[in-house]
């Protein structure tokens, strides 16, 4: 049996950092992206940002804060 890596999914932490994003968004990772760093790079292309403290915000939440 072979175990395949599913890669890394970066979920939006929402505007407050306490609740999940209402949209429960996640970065669309390229098939070649395997690490968190690579997936975040994918997200930045779509407008994702990382706030101080390491919170990830999807494009919608980044605009609302």
Residues that bind Zn ion (CB under 5 A): 12, 21, 25, 58, 61
As measured in angstroms, the least distance from the Cβ of 5 to Zn ion is 25
As measured in angstroms, the least distance from the Cβ of 55 to Zn ion is 10
- DSSP class of 26: B
User: How far, CA to CA in Å, does 28 sit from each of 2, 14, 43, 53?
Assistant: 25, 17, 7, 22
The rounded distance, in Å, linking the Cα atoms of 55 and 52 is 7
Q: Which is nearer to Zn ion, 29 or 61 (CB)?
A: 61
Q: Which is nearer to Zn ion, 33 or 61 (CB)?
A: 61
């Amino acid at each position: 049996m072979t175990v395949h890596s599913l890669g890394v999914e970066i979920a939006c932490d929402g505007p407050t950092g306490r609740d999940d994003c209402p949209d429960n968004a996640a970065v669309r990772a390229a098939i070649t992206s395997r690490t968190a760093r690579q997936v975040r790079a994918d997200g930045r292309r779509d407008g994702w940002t990382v706030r101080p403290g390491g919170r990830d915000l999807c494009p919608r939440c980044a605009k609302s804060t």
